[in-house]
Amino acid sequence: MPEIDAMDSVNAIKVSIVGGAGYVGLVTGIGLAEVGHQVTCVDICADKIEKLKRGSSPISEPGLEGLLQKNMGAGRLSFTSDLEKGIPPAEIVFIAVGTPAKDDGAADLSQVIQVTEDLVRHLQGYTVIAIKSTVPVGTVELVESILRRHKREGEEFDIVSNPEFLREGYGLYDFFHPDRIVIGARSERARQLMHELYEPIIYRTVKGVYDDAADARDPVPVIDTDLASAQMIKYASNAFLAARISFINEIAALCERVGADIKEVAKGMGYDPRIGRTYLDAGLGFGGPCLEKDLRALIKIAENNHCPVSLLRAVLERNEQQVREVIAKVKQLAGYLLYKKIITVFGLTFKANTSDIRNSLSLRVIEQLDHEGALVRAYDPVALCEVRSLHPELVLSEDPYEALIHADVLVILTDWPQFLELDYARIKQLMASPCIVDARNLLDPAEMRAYGFRYCSIGRAGV
């Protein structure tokens, strides 16, 4: 991320972000401070707030810590765990707390409800309450009714739905280069304030950010819409992305049967502008904290509204099947019985360039291998600490080569570019039998076979 200078000319708006030490809240807070607004991040997690006050980020995201320190130093960004200090005199209060999945897949709104009840006592003058958290249609109205019930005499507020589309590992990039900004609102006054807030982003005037060809582009599209549509845009986008992945994984399975190569097929499809090439990488399926959770929540919303959604259910089922298909490939190479076989797993995060292991499909694969009696060892270039604290039972290795000594099968589960740099001739010598299941299509099949590996990937000719 290049060095950025805050806008001198921006009309600084006072913003508070509740849930401001979480991923979405923190990236949004730092981004808004960077464009010149006056931001306070409020979070119940005192440990994270203390860390942030020392200028240290609790999440690893390229460029984030630099901008954190810069904006704190410039007096535009502060942190507190005390709502009473953090809310007034904000003109816009973002709610960016988590909405984890309940057992039945529905979004758990307890944090959203709790912070709404807590923050209302501290509002001063006219305030826009902007919901960033991904919430089902109807939640905004619920928040509004809580605010109305508890608000003090003379206080005025409006509600806005302003969903985020940040990808982990690219959070700041996505903040400064959004494909679109969605603003769901009933009130013109609130809508105008939100436009003012995002003006430097919309017109791409943040210094230092648009050094590439991007600065020649048109303004960022702003979708001014109603509250319900804004919330649905977020769910429908994530469900569509999930559907692309399930679709390409299903086509990959078919490619294996008919001798086609999924990489060639995705490339050929991607030239059609109606389809596009991104988000068509066959692999282990979609993991992480958002896609599956939001898809399940959308299915629950449909159930609650008596709307059949067989396609959405199939997207989810296909993703679950993908883990089983990878296990089947490991069995095929290991001679079908996994009992006491040494299986080395590379990659524990849900995708490359993050240390996040939430809802990582790698952990599901490991659980399944363990269930089959395999002796699993795991290596990851960044997430060993996270995994060790949450799964102390796993055998982890700090060194990829050490993890492979006498291994029967190597299974690659995350597309870390570091795995491309390894010495595969040495790996072959270390393993008991030279077998690789590449569940991310990271390596070159011909090269691996030339080294003498039995090599299996997704949607390409096997073994």
Residues 200-259 that bind ligand UDX (CB under 6 A): 238, 241, 245
Q: Which stretch binds ligand UDX (CB under 6 A): 10-18, 184-192, 281-289, 422-430?
A: 281-289
Distance of CA 198 to the CA centre of its chain: 22
Q: Which is nearer to ligand UDX, 26 or 280 (CB)?
A: 280
* Cα 371 to Cα 365: distance, rounded to the nearest angstrom: 10
Answer for which of 279, 314, 370, 428 binds ligand UDX (CB under 6 A) is: 279
Q: Which is nearer to ligand UDX, 26 or 49 (CB)?
A: 26
Buried b (16+ CB within 10 A) or exposed e, 382-410: bbbebbeeeeeebebbeebeebbeebbbb
Answer for which of 31, 36, 98, 287 binds ligand UDX (CB under 6 A) is: 287
Q: With contact defined as beta carbons under 8 Å apart, do 261 and 461 qualify?
A: yes
281 near ligand UDX, rule: CB under 6 A: yes
Q: Which is nearer to ligand UDX, 194 or 363 (CB)?
A: 363
130 near ligand UDX, rule: CB under 6 A: no
One DSSP character per residue, 342-379 reads EEEEE--SSSSS----TT-HHHHHHHHHHHTT-EEEEE
Q: What order of strands is seen across the sheet that includes strand 77-80? A: 77-80, 38-42, 14-18, 92-95, 126-131, 156-161, 181-185, 222-225
Active site residue 435: no
283 near ligand UDX, rule: CB under 6 A: yes
Q: Which is nearer to ligand UDX, 407 or 443 (CB)?
A: 443
Answer for which of 175, 346, 350, 416 binds ligand UDX (CB under 6 A) is: 350
Q: What is the CA angle 386-241-178, rounded to 5?
A: 85
Q: With contact defined as beta carbons under 8 Å apart, do 393 and 375 qualify?
A: no
Q: Which is nearer to ligand UDX, 168 or 256 (CB)?
A: 168
Query: Closest separation between CB of residue 198 and ligand UDX, Å?
Result: 17
167 near ligand UDX, rule: CB under 6 A: yes
Bridge partners, 224 (sequence order): 183
Q: What order of strands is seen across the sheet that includes strand 342-346? A: 395-396, 375-379, 342-346, 409-412, 435-438, 454-456
Q: Which is nearer to ligand UDX, 142 or 352 (CB)?
A: 352
Amino acid letter, 197: L
* Cα 269 to Cα 265: distance, rounded to the nearest angstrom: 6
291 near ligand UDX, rule: CB under 6 A: yes
Cα torsion for 111, 33, 190, 162, to the nearest 10°?
-50
* Cα 306 to Cα 324: distance, rounded to the nearest angstrom: 31
C-alpha count within 13 angstroms, C-beta hemisphere, residue 10 = 28
Q: Binding string to ligand UDX for residues 304 to 343, with x set by CB under 6 A, is what?
A: ----------------------------------------
178 near ligand UDX, rule: CB under 6 A: no
280 near ligand UDX, rule: CB under 6 A: yes
From the list 290, 307, 385, 435, the catalytic residue is 290
Q: Which stretch binds ligand UDX (CB under 6 A): 72-80, 103-111, 158-166, 445-453?
A: 158-166
Answer for which of 70, 263, 296, 351 binds ligand UDX (CB under 6 A) is: 351
Paired sense of beta strands 77-80 and 342-346, if any: unpaired
Q: How many residues bind ligand UDX (CB under 6 A)?
A: 20
Query: Closest separation between CB of residue 128 and ligand UDX, Å?
Result: 22
Q: Which is nearer to ligand UDX, 20 or 459 (CB)?
A: 459
Contacting residues toward ligand UDX, per CB under 6 A:
164-168, 238, 241, 245, 279-281, 283, 285-288, 290-291, 350-351
Catalytically annotated residues: 290
